[in-house]
Structures are given as C-alpha cells and as structure tokens.
Structure 1
Amino acid sequence: MSKIPETKSTGSRLIKTWSTPVGKEKNRPIPCALCGGAEFSPHLFCEDFFYVRCRRCGLVQMNPQPEQAEVTRRYREGSGTAYLSYELKNEPAFLHLQELALADAGFEELERDLRARSSQGRVLDIGCATGALLEKLRDRGWAVSGVEISPAAEYARKERSLDVRSLPLEENRFPNASFDLVLASHLIEHLNDPASFVREVYRILAPGGYCIVTTPNISGFQARLFRSHWRSAIFDHLYLFSIKTLSRLLTQHGFTIERICTWGGLAAGLAPAPLKRIADRAAKFFTAGDVMLIRARTAR
C-alpha cells in the first residue's frame, strides 16, 4: 500500500515531498556530477540528510545519495494515487505557472523561429505529470510527446490521448534530432545523473533546437536567507543548482545559453502582500528569484 507523502516544515508552510522511499534505500557516495571532483565541504544539514558543496566547481548535491534504481522506485511505487490526486487538484494553478514561465522564456519568439524554418514544432515535456501543458501545446499545433515515470502517465495517456512514455528519458532511445523543443520543469534536481540527462537532451534535439530547464535556484535570495530551512532543501532534491552551475552543465555539453530569468522573492505567507510584491519584483530584476529558468540552444 502506498504511503501518504511526507511533509517538511519550512517555518511558514509545509512542502510536500512525493518521492516516498520504498523500504530501506541503498545510498552511496558519488563524485561531483558537474566536474567529477571528490572533495566536498558540508553545506546544508536537513533533518536526516545533508548537502555538500564541491570545492572545485561549487555544485551543491546530496552526498551520499540513493542509487538510481531506488529513486525510480520512489516515483513508480512510493507515490501512489496521492500524487495523481494532488496534480489533478492543483492542475489549473500549475498550468498557469508553466505558461508564465514559457512567456518569460520567450516562447512566442521561439514559435516564430520554428515557423520560419517550416517546422511544425515537435516538443518533448520530460516530467509532464498529467499532460496539461502538452494538451495546450497540441492545441497550438505542436506535435507533442511526454515522459513521466509516475502514475500520472497513465492518466495523460487515457484521459488526454497523449504519447507519454513511462521510462526514464535515456531508456526511451528516441532517434537523433527527434524534437525541436525539450521542456524540463522542476525535474533535473531529482535526477541521479544530470550530466547524462543533458547529453541525451542534446542528442534528441534537432540542430538549432531549444531546451528550457526550470529548477530551484540555490543562488537566490530565499535559499541564502533560509539555508537548511529553504523550502527546496528536501530529500527528493538530489541537486540544488545555482545559475552558475546549471549554466556550466549545459554549456559543457554543447548548449549555448540564450536566456536566464528567475522569479519568487518571498514565499506566500512570509510577508504582507505589498512587501511580497516588492520582493518578487526585486528578485526578478536582480536575477535572485527562488526559481530559475534557463533557455538553451543546440548548435545550428
């Protein structure tokens, strides 16, 4: 029987953590996923796990961390129907946030570029959940596909008639240059091997294709303020990227960075609404938001 998702207190709200472990997990020490370094400094201590910072490149990662098979089991077996119910209940709000993020990424400009190249636009949404965003993109004329290893994949296939694969990205073996756009929203921080993921994304993108990655920003204001109590320092996040480390990960695997933006100055409930609005605007202006988005592109 699936467990109810655990929560982590941040002092102002409870953050759901959906990757519920299935039994006792095997953990192992790993080298830095960005530079391969083996020297780390303690960085964040969070309840029963901790993050370290690579002394060579600055990447923050959970170390030791669960093996890949254990992480996959979390999402397939540990989340159960509770995750699907949560996604469906919050689907309109989540979709709205995704659409705002795409606007920040210059999505309409991206569409015009593809139309100028006479491309229909083939998009892969990795971690697509129930497929709400893919459905919207299909309505705009895109050829859509998704990857989702949780029970939400079945909903996307049955209720929305979407092509959603239930295997991790690398195991789907998509042909070279299969897509013009790859989306990965709040996904890369959950992966054991983000470098392998980025290499695979580059391979399956067409020349001049786009990748849009959204993830928590450890170089943001909230992360610096709350540190171990930051709302994104939770046990399902194996990596906590900064703008610098995520940019380096993308560029060292061939991508060119085209746009970086952040948002989120203070979480809801931490300050009166007028102060929150000011903090949100400042965080976005100074690229110090709680969440970051990077739009990158393959060579043409």
Structure 2
Amino acid sequence: MSGSEDTIERGRPCEVCATPTIPWHLLGGGSLERCPDCGHLRRPLTSAPAHHRDLAYGGDPSLDTIRTALTFRSLGHRGVRSVFEIGYGAGALLRHFHDAGAQVSGVDPGQLDVDVDPLVRDHGRLWSGPAEELPDGWVSADLVVGVHVLEHVIDVHETIRKAVTMLQPGGCAVFLTPAGDSWGPKVYGSNWWMLEDPTHVRFFSADSLARAAAGAGLSDIRVDRLVLDSVTTDIGSLARARGRHRPDGVLGDKRVLAAGAVTAPAVLAMRSLAKRTRPTLRLVAHKAG
C-alpha cells in the first residue's frame, strides 16, 4: 500500500461490514478496495489489476479432476442423503455424490460454458441462472456446498441467504473461496493468479467470511485454510510475474504446469508450516436445528 491509511481517500462501504474502504495499491500496478476493519477485498470499478484471461475458466482438466475428488472426500460424504451445489459447472462434484447414493441438485449461471455430466443432468434437479433468483427453499438438502463461487456472484449476501433456505434444520453449508488475507496479493501483487479470472469480483478474509455467514443466520461457524486446494496458484502467479499472459490463462501453458508439478512438494511443505501461504479459505457452518 502506498501512503498511510489515514491519508488515503476512503471509498465505497465494505459489502460485509459497511466500513469505508481504502484503496490498496498493488505491487505491479492496479488496486483493490480493502476494508480496514474486516480485511475484505473488492475489485474497484476502476484501477483494477490488468492481464485478465478471456474466460472465467482457466484451469487444467486433469488437475480439476484431482481437486474434485479431494473436495468430495473432505466433505465427509458418508451419510449425506441430499446435496445442493451452488455453481455446479460440469457437475463433477455432484456426480460423486450421485454415485454415492445422494439426491443431487444445484444452480449455475452457465458462465463456464461447459457440458453437464449426463447422469447429473438426467437425475439431478438443476437450475440454470443466478443463485440470487432461486425461489427460497427450492430444494431441501442436508448439505449445501459452493466451491469457488462466492467470489463470482453479484450479491454475495443474497446467495448465502438462499443457500440457508435450501438447508434442512441442522444441515451443513460448506464454501471454498480464495483467501484475500493470504500472502498472495501481498507478495505477487497484480500478478496474483487469483486476479487472472475477470469474474473474480471479491476476496474474503477469514474474518469477513465468518461475518457474512453469521449475517445469513448460520451458526457453529468455522473458517480454516486448505493446504491442498489451488496448488498451482503460486506457479501461476510467478509465471504472470515473468510476463506470461495467455487468453486462456497461464495454466494453459504446459511448461507452467510442468513447473507446477516439480515445485508442488516445496509448495505443500511451505503451506504446512505457514497458514497464510494457503490461498483458499473454507467455511463450514450449520443451520440451527
């Protein structure tokens, strides 16, 4: 940040706690709106970091398959009878739950423009459109999950509120989202890989994510930081810092992916020792019974 927080002109209110935000000038150019109270970050209407890829999706299918399997295992799927996913994409995670015997449902605006798994499409209850437009209580599920979706939506409070209406009493909500209070934006600045996606409009801190969940009426709230999620974030950020920019994202470069595979053990060791190097927050909370 350039200058002191006391002398920088304050901006629009934080969308989580309503505290006036402060421009955070990033290494390499551009700025984000930062809340000095809860640490929440938003992309401003102007001066946003550049070098976006063309589309929201910028991953690697093989890595996504591995991440989906790990996410499924981490959700404690045994005993889950019904699941509702916000942002189901191609339906890969819902397919895992379907195969485990759960009733599956979800909502997705179709921004990834991908084909949905045939079994999920045929046997799931799916809504195509913004989550904010869902009727309250459209389904009743004992698990609601959103994997890297809250950073995209138009109205994050309404999205979480809708999720709560889909939960049965005592049901569990799990959300994964990029950590705005990780070392990424500080160390990599405008080259942080999470800024490559043009549809990432906000980045939660652990504090702001917990506050948003509490504001939606969730309880028993826990926020932690994942070691294994988004393993290629650091190598992607370093590639961007070296000037590698592609319309499909830096992870479309096989050389970058190969470097990510080589450096993965060191990255995971670093994350095991320093929590702030972990780029993903996980929220686990419950609806009162």
Structures share fold, TM-score greater than 0.5: yes
Deviation at 1:222, TM superposition (A): 2.8
- Which position in structure 2 is the counterpart of 1:179? 141
- Which position in structure 2 is the counterpart of 1:296? 285
Deviation at 1:129, TM superposition (A): 0.9
Q: Of 41, 44, 47, which residue of structure 2 is paired with 1:63?
A: 44
Unaligned runs of 5+ in 2: 1-10, 47-53, 239-258
Write the distance in 2 (CA, Å) between the matches of 1:225 and 1:49.
14
Write the distance in 2 (CA, Å) between the matches of 1:123 and 1:179.
5
Unaligned runs of 5+ in 1: 1-28, 66-77, 115-120
Q: Deviations over 1:239-264 (max 9, x none)?
A: 01122221221123222224623224
Deviation at 1:238, TM superposition (A): 0.8
Q: Determine if contact 2:32/2:43 at 8 Å carries over to the other structure.
A: yes
State the percentage of identical aligned residues.
24
Write the distance in 2 (CA, Å) between the matches of 1:265 and 1:244.
25
Larger relative CO (CA 8 A, sep 6+): 1 or 2? Answer: 2
- Stretch deviating more after TM superposition (275-284 or 285-294): 275-284
Q: Does 1:133 align with 2:96?
A: no
Q: State the AA in 1 paired with 2:22.
A: S
- Which position in structure 2 is the counterpart of 1:163? 125
> Which secondary structure state, in structure 1, belongs to the residue aligned with residue 115 of structure 2?
helix
Q: Determine if contact 1:153/1:165 at 8 Å carries over to the other structure.
A: no
Deviation at 1:95, TM superposition (A): 2.8
> Which secondary structure state, in structure 2, belongs to the residue aligned with residue 63 of structure 1?
coil
Q: State the AA in 1 paired with 2:82.
A: R
Write the distance in 1 (CA, Å) between the matches of 2:213 and 2:179.
15
Q: State the AA in 2 paired with 1:267.
A: D
Write the distance in 2 (CA, Å) between the matches of 1:273 and 1:93.
10
Write the distance in 2 (CA, Å) between the matches of 1:293 and 1:258.
8
Quick one: structure 1 residues 170 and 236, their matched pair in 2 at CA, closer, same or farther if it must change by over 3 Å? closer
Quick one: structure 1 residues 168 and 284, their matched pair in 2 at CA, closer, same or farther if it must change by over 3 Å? farther
Q: Deviations over 1:1-40 (max 9, x none)?
A: xxxxxxxxxxxxxxxxxxxxxxxxxxxx853210123x22
Q: Does 1:220 align with 2:200?
A: no
Quick one: structure 1 residues 46 and 239, their matched pair in 2 at CA, closer, same or farther if it must change by over 3 Å? farther
Write the distance in 2 (CA, Å) between the matches of 1:163 and 1:153.
19
From the two aligned structures, give the one with the greater strand fraction: 1
State how 1:54-93 maps to structure 2 within 5 Å.
54-64=35-45, 90-93=60-63
Write the distance in 1 (CA, Å) between the matches of 2:36 and 2:90.
39
Quick one: structure 1 residues 46 and 184, their matched pair in 2 at CA, closer, same or farther if it must change by over 3 Å? farther
TM-score (norm 2): 0.71
Deviation at 1:157, TM superposition (A): 7.0
- Which position in structure 2 is the counterpart of 1:203? 165
State how 1:1-300 maps to structure 2 within 5 Å.
31-37=13-19, 39-45=20-26, 50-64=31-45, 90-105=60-75, 107-108=76-77, 111-112=78-79, 114=80, 121-150=81-110, 155-156=115-116, 160-161=121-122, 162-175=124-137, 178-234=140-196, 235-255=198-218, 256-258=220-222, 260-263=224-227, 264=231, 267-268=234-235, 276-288=264-276, 289-300=278-289
Write the distance in 1 (CA, Å) between the matches of 2:118 and 2:135.
23
Write the distance in 1 (CA, Å) between the matches of 2:114 and 2:125.
10
Q: For this pair of structures, how many residues does the alignment match?
A: 243
- Stretch deviating more after TM superposition (197-206 or 143-152): 143-152
> Which secondary structure state, in structure 1, belongs to the residue aligned with residue 175 of structure 2?
strand
TM-score (norm 1): 0.69
> Which secondary structure state, in structure 1, belongs to the residue aligned with residue 195 of structure 2?
coil
Q: Deviations over 1:123-165 (max 9, x none)?
A: 1111111112211210100100121111667832757424321
Quick one: structure 1 residues 209 and 227, their matched pair in 2 at CA, closer, same or farther if it must change by over 3 Å? same
Q: Determine if contact 2:84/2:166 at 8 Å carries over to the other structure.
A: no
